[in-house]
Every structure is written in structure tokens, then in C-alpha cells.
Structure 1
Amino acid sequence: MRILRTWECKIDKEIEKCKQQLNILSGVSTNRTTVLKIINDVKKHKDKALAKYSKLYDKAFLSPKDFRVKDNEIEEAYRKISLPFVKSIQRAITNIWTYQEHIRISKVSPLKTGGIVLDTLYSPLESVGVYVPGGAASYPSTVLMNAIPARAAGVNKIIMTTPPSKDGAIPPERLVAAKEAGIREIYKVGGAQAVAALAFGTETIPKVDKIVGPGNVFVTLAKKEIFGYAGIDMLAGPSEVLIIADDHANPSFVASDLLSQAEHAPGISMLVTFSELLVEQVTSELNRQITKLKRYADTKRCLKKFGVIILAKNIDECVEISNKLAPEHLQIMTQNPRALLCNIKHAGAIFLGSYTPVALGDYIAGPSHVLPTSGTARFSSGLSVNDFLKRSSVITYSRSALKTAYNDLAEISGAEGLDAHTRSVQIRLNSRSGF
């Protein structure tokens, strides 16, 4: 990992470099051209285009009748995995559901005054598409963290798309997680073509109102391009962690958390501290622990490329640096971590104390692990049940209330030159009818 000392470099410039490193959308013009081609092809040729891209990118020879996962495939998936895994998935679902129900926006009472009633109506989306990436891992947690908040909101139709392997199969852990999460439709389609299918619909895959879930740069760009035809959760970049630690932090804990982020490959690992001794100890721990990992080579390359340790002058500067970077995951491992909380302005999720690793949030704590990356925590939040609810204003005026509002309304609409607006009020006030 690179070591930067704030008193030896222009730290603001170094932070800007880190931000650019975090940005998934930098330098992607060629990829955008490819994505637009795929989207337009799927819009025009639908299932035929999906079969073509499945063969091209996933090396899977699937016809449209093969896209949807069949019941017997899910039954077979249960036979391939252990009962303890199923029980763990069920407990994770319980935790996620409990938390999401706890934070769900509840109905507010109407605001009533002088013949005016202002209501707020919250209603769930009708349909949601969950994208689950493929690759080396199975990602059952991604299924849960996207689907359970939607179900807690009351979304009736949740479908899942995910890339198949060459033989057209989906990892059993992913299928079991989907079944346990209550997803009834699963399609073996990945990449930008899956996003396009969810946004516009094909003969096999239905159009949805919102698309959620992470993916590679092509998936992210596709979500960006289809926004407006369907809603999206966010444009997610590489996963990232920033750890603020003082000289009371356990160096083995800190090192293990830096490695768990680098294990994503790419995953961005940052330590911000004022303790020279901690830096020495963490560096030693990294060298010791990394050799024991299954993904040793990829993790080591990732840590070398995306890992950084920033030595600050004091704890206040540590917090300042964190706020400038607005990390996806922020861990605070100090003697009194909660004391720093009031000064934290920007972070997707915050993990307090030595016994709260990011892994808890990734799998079972309850809040969704779908979080803003690339510094977007400055203006956005992690996915939750409330992202699957729509808000409608309900406005009711009596005739007397309309009369009271008339002069102000006429002044403003007149200034805008919209006399039909004014007349829509006048005609009601001049009418003798009660309807």
C-alpha cells in the first residue's frame, strides 16, 4: 500500500487522485458506444438480440425458451447446497426484513387548516428488476440486499436477471437465495443486454419500473442510459472502505478489514490515521495475513494498485479527509468511536468499534449493502425499503379556501402570463354549482 503523509505532499491533490480512481465513469467513451449498440439492438430485436449477446459474452448457447429458470433447476439447487447455508440465508432475510420494516416511511396524518386538507400517499412500485452479477463469486447476498427491501415495501412483482455460465447454469447459492427471498421469476441473462431487457421488455422478459443491483462498467453504463425509461438505484463503482484508526486500534483487525475490501479485486482500501506505530504494525499484519487468503494473488495486486495509507497530523484531520472522500464504507476504530460520529458528514454506511467489520453489513446486519460509491455519498444514500415507495401529494380545497387563495394565485400566475390558470379559479368562484 502507498503511504502518504499529509505534511509531505499536497494532500488535496492526492485526495482528488483518489476520487478519480474511485470514479467508474471516467474514460468510458468506447464502452458507452458498445452499450448504446447493445441497448438499441435489444429494443429492436428483443429475445433474438439477448440470445446473440448471451452467446457472444457469456459463451452460453441459450434460446428464448431457456432464459427463464425452471422449477426443477431450483429444486436441484437445493439438493446441491447445505442445510446450514439455507438457515443462514433465512436468518439474514429476517435481519434485513426487520430493519427495513423498522425504517419504512409510515403514513403521516393529513395537514388540515381552514378548509384545506393536504395528504401524503405512499405506494409501492408495481415491478422491480434485480440484477445480480456473475463472475467468480456466487453473490447470494446481492440477491437478498436488493430483493428484501423491495418486498418490505410491498412490491408485488420482483424479477431477477443474472448471467449464466457456459453450460447455461446459475450457481445454486444464487438460486436458493432468490427462492428464499420470494423472487418468482429468474432469467439467465446478464450484462448491458439484461438491463435493456428490463427497461424495455422483450417477448420473454417483462419491462419493470425500476432496476437495482450492481454490475460491471457495462451494466452501470446501461443503467445510466436507460434512466427515464425505468428508475435505477445508483451508478455503483468499485467497492471501497476507509478506516479511521487511532493508536488504540488492533492492527490485526485493521489489516483484515483492508484485505476483505481488496479481496473484491477491484476493491479500494484506505487507512487514515495519525499513528506511525499503527502503520508499521498494520503493514506487518497485511504481509502476514495476505498469504493465507484463497485469492492471494488478486488481493495482493488490488492492494498494491488501490490501497493507500494516509498519515494525518491528528484525529481532526483524519475526519476531514474522510469527509472529502465520502467513502462507501467508513469504519471508525478509535478509543471512543461514537464521539467522532457527530463530525462525520458523508459516508454510505458507518461501522463503529473494533467488533463491527464491514462484513457484517455485507451479509447479515440488516441495512442493505447497496451503497453509494465514488464519493456519491456526499449527496445520496444506500438502498432501502423507501427507495421502492412512490410519494403522491393529495390536495383538497373547499370553496372558501379557494376564494382565500385566489388573489395570491392570480398574482403569481399573472406574472407568468398564464391566464388560463387564473380563469380555472375564477370559473369556480363564479359558479353557483356545488360540483
Structure 2
Amino acid sequence: MSSASFYETRDLSANAYAALMKRSEADLSGFMEKVDPIIAAVKNEGDAALVRFGQDFDGAKPLTEATLKVSEAEFDAAFDSVDAEVIEAITYGIANIRSFHEEQKPAAMWMKEIRPGAFAGDRYTPIRSVALYVPRGKGAFPSVTMMTAVPGVVAEVPELAIFTPPTPDGSVDAATLVAARLAGVGTVYKCGGAQAVAAAAFGTQTIKPALKIVGPGSPWVVAAKRRLSDVIDPGLPAGPSEAIIFADDSVHGGLAALDLLIEAEHGPDSSAYLVTHSRRVAEEALAALPEHWAQMSEQRVAFSKAVLGGSSGGILLTASLEESYQFINDYAPEHLELLSTAPFEHLGHITEAAEILMGPHTPVCIGNFALGPNAVLPTSQGARTYGPLSVHDFVKCSSIGYVTRPAYAEMAKHARVLARYEGFSSHENAVSPMRDKYLGAN
């Protein structure tokens, strides 16, 4: 049985080390050209193009223009078809996600007295409309619905709409509909891929255009977001799954291998590395993989083997803890586990990771489904400048200023000096005796 790629930092050239950093969406040049005709068709034809692409790309032959939007009857039927324990798990996860994100919600407005009689602050208002993308290509993801919908609802966005690919029978995954309704989103469109991004950007006969789109997706989705970034805010860069499992010598390598497979099973375009300075841990992990694969479905085994045996995953043995930290910070992973009985000893050394899950009892899947922090995260080294999806992605900030009559003279004096220096005569005039004349008249 094939196993994972095995690397040692001492054997890696600079080019080989850099190659380990590459993700599947790093080069989207081939996708950019392919999404152009899809985008054009949706812009020009609207619903008709969405139906055609749903039939051709998703195999949803029963899909029609009349059924692009999920009906109330379909929502009701979803609750009848989903097992009670699944509904309970979704309800539990949503409660935790809501509790977490309510803490993120900023005050509607704050102001500070900068100088006596002069006030400044911020005012937060929700974005008017946001599209939530929920992928379905390699499985059903009600968890993504939970993670995208809840912060939008907490932020009080007036118009939230979920876009997700239809199934071959022309429906939407039932658990996804359950999660949508329980989270508080009642608009779901049967539309995925690049065509969904285009529909969200331009709108169609059925679909209202949105100002922003959030949620993870395939390279097709990422390419369309980039192509349409001048039409719709594409949100944080969220592509195929990636994870680093860091393990020190306090844990068994079999546990590290178990967690290494979590993100590796998403699909062949995922990325997953075990990073450790312990040769024992690395060898135990390699030995445990066949045992773990024996307990997985055939499709997920194939996906994870493609990742771990390919150029975007495997086991990396470093020469020291410091080398492990360096690799993690260079990689800037979407998901990071600090698999250790003393994870806080390592936390201070990590600066570049979108999500950090600590200790043997916090595997990535608990973060994905149940804990509360958002699992829609920046990929492809996006963690260097982006954080997780949050309530802040659904609101916008306006600066607020208010200067009273007693504070005006001092403020005007300094503003006038800088306006003159920068050569802006109207700036200067607006805080000159010209203004005093009008103020005096009042």
C-alpha cells in the first residue's frame, strides 16, 4: 500500500523547500481563461445560462429556471429527511458559532473626545447584501453553511443568500437546507462554480446581485472571484483545504497521522503536512497510515493518498523545534494543530496561521463543526494578511467626527496651516475668516 511522501529539511534545497509551499490555486492562469465564457454567458443570458451549466456541470438534468431558488416546501421536506441526530449536531454547532460570533460584534458606534469639544469615532453598519458560497463538489457541507450564515445573521445583513451547486436530481443537500434555516437564512439558490460567482455579481431574472461574496470554493470559484473583483467584493481568499499538523515528542505519531488525514481527505487539490522534529513521531505516523486508511471510505482514501503522496502533502522531519516553527510560519497554513500535551509552550512561536487548534483533544474536525470559531479561513498563505471569516466581514465602518463651536478655532488653525503647506486653497479657505463670516451670521 502506498504511503506518504517523506521529507527531511536537511536534505531539501532552497527550491525543494519552496516547492512544498505551493498550493493548487497558486497558478490560476488556466482557470482564468476558462471562466471567462461562463461569466459572459451568465451576464448575458441570466437564468438560462445557470440552468444550462447546472445540467452540464452538475448533472442536474431536472433543473429549470422555475426551480433555481429553493422553495419553502423543499426546506420543510429537508427537515423530514435528515436524521434527528444530524439536526441535533447542526443545532449544537450553530449555537456555539453564534455564541462566539456575538462576542465579535462591534458596538454600533463609539466616540472619544479627542480634544475638549472635538469628538471622533466609528460607526458600524451591516453590508446591505452578501452572497454565501457553499461548495458541494466532493461532498455536502452543511458546516460551511453554518460558518458563513451565522456571522452574517449576527451582523444583521438585510439580504443574505446561499449559493450551492445542485445535486443530480435538481435538489440541494438536505442538511445544508436545515443548517440554512436554523442559522436564519431563507434564500438558497441552486447554483455553484464560476457561474454562481457571476450570478452573485450581476444578478439574473431570479437572483438579486450582491455586494460581496464569501465562502470557500474550488479553483474555478477562486478564479471567478478574482476575475470579477471589480464588480463584487470577493472576500478573503478561501480555496481548497490545507492543514499542518505540528507534533512534538509528547504525542504518539499514530495520533498525528489520524489528524493529518482530516484535511487531506477533502480532495486531491488539498494540502496537508505533518511537521515534527521527532523521528519517532514521523516513523509512527508513517506506520499508522495504512491502519487509518483501512477505516476510511474508498473515495476518501483515494483523495488523501493523492495529497499525502503528491507534491502538496506528506511528512516533514525537521532538525529542531525552531525549524518546525519556521516552516509553519513560512507556510502560513489555513488550519494548524499544535499537537502536544503542552501546546501553549509552542503558541508564542507561531505568527502565521489562520486557525490554531491546541492540544490532543482539539482536532481540526472539532474546529470545523462544533467549537465556535469560524472555519472559513484564508488559504494559499493568505493567513499572512487575512484572518478567519468573522462578523467584521459582514459590516463596514464609517468614521464619525463632530467639532463643537468652542473646539473649532484651534482645529481650524492647524488645519489651515497644513492646507496652505500642501497647496490646497479651498481647504485653507474653508477654515479661514471666510467661514467665520458665515458662522457669525448663524
The SS at the match of 2:366 is helix
Q: Does 1:428 align with 2:405?
A: no
Residue 406 (structure 1) shift? 2.8
Residue 233 (structure 1) shift? 2.2
Q: Does 1:333 align with 2:347?
A: no
Q: 2:57 maps to what in 1?
A: 57
Q: Does 1:409 align with 2:410?
A: no
Residue 154 (structure 1) shift? 1.4
Residue 147 (structure 1) shift? 0.3
C-alpha contact (below 8 Å) 1:254/1:282 kept by paired residues: yes
Say how many residue pairs are matched: 432
Mapped partners of 2:169, 2:8: distance in 1: 51
Q: 1:357 maps to what in 2?
A: 363
Mapped partners of 1:416, 1:43: distance in 2: 45
Equivalent of 2:287 in 284, 288, 292: 284
Taking only aligned residues, the RMSD between alpha carbons, in angstroms, comes to: 1.8
The SS at the match of 2:11 is coil
Q: 2:38 maps to what in 1?
A: 38
The SS at the match of 2:386 is coil
One-letter amino acid matched to 1:423: N
With structure 2 as the length reference, what TM-score do the two structures score?
0.93
Q: Does 1:374 align with 2:377?
A: no
Q: 2:104 maps to what in 1?
A: 103
Structure 1, unpaired ranges of 5+? none
C-alpha contact (below 8 Å) 1:250/1:354 kept by paired residues: no
Percent of pairs with identical residues: 33
The SS at the match of 2:10 is coil
Residue 217 (structure 1) shift? 1.0
C-alpha contact (below 8 Å) 1:118/1:394 kept by paired residues: yes
Q: 2:182 maps to what in 1?
A: 180
The residue correspondences of 1:88-99 to structure 2 (distance < 5 A) are 88-99=89-100
Q: Does 1:48 align with 2:63?
A: no
The SS at the match of 2:169 is coil
Mapped partners of 2:441, 2:373: distance in 1: 51
Q: 1:323 maps to what in 2?
A: 329
Residue 432 (structure 1) shift? 4.3
Q: Does 1:17 align with 2:19?
A: yes
1:57-116 residue CA offsets vs partner (Å, 9 max, x unmatched): 223343322111111112222221111111111111100000111222235642112221
1:106–1:330 distance in 2 versus 1, CA, 3 Å: same
Residue 434 (structure 1) shift? 5.8
Mapped partners of 2:105, 2:53: distance in 1: 39
Q: 1:300 maps to what in 2?
A: 305
The residue correspondences of 1:14-413 to structure 2 (distance < 5 A) are 14-20=16-22, 22=23, 24-26=25-27, 28-61=28-61, 62-107=63-108, 109-112=110-113, 113-266=115-268, 267-294=270-297, 295-305=300-310, 306-413=312-419
1:108–1:353 distance in 2 versus 1, CA, 3 Å: same
C-alpha contact (below 8 Å) 1:24/1:374 kept by paired residues: yes
Mapped partners of 1:432, 1:150: distance in 2: 44
1:269-297 residue CA offsets vs partner (Å, 9 max, x unmatched): 21111111111111100122112210222
The SS at the match of 1:211 is strand
One-letter amino acid matched to 1:114: P
Residue 319 (structure 1) shift? 1.0
One-letter amino acid matched to 1:276: R
1:21-68 residue CA offsets vs partner (Å, 9 max, x unmatched): x25141x22321222222233223222322232233223343322111
C-alpha contact (below 8 Å) 1:100/1:367 kept by paired residues: yes
One-letter amino acid matched to 1:278: V
With structure 1 as the length reference, what TM-score do the two structures score?
0.94
One-letter amino acid matched to 2:273: M
C-alpha contact (below 8 Å) 2:357/2:364 kept by paired residues: yes
The SS at the match of 2:420 is helix
The SS at the match of 1:110 is strand
One-letter amino acid matched to 1:206: K
The SS at the match of 2:294 is helix
C-alpha contact (below 8 Å) 2:110/2:123 kept by paired residues: no
1:358-381 residue CA offsets vs partner (Å, 9 max, x unmatched): 011110100110011111111110
Structure 2, unpaired ranges of 5+? none
Of the structure 1 ranges 38-47 and 350-359, higher mean CA displacement relative to structure 2 is found in: 38-47
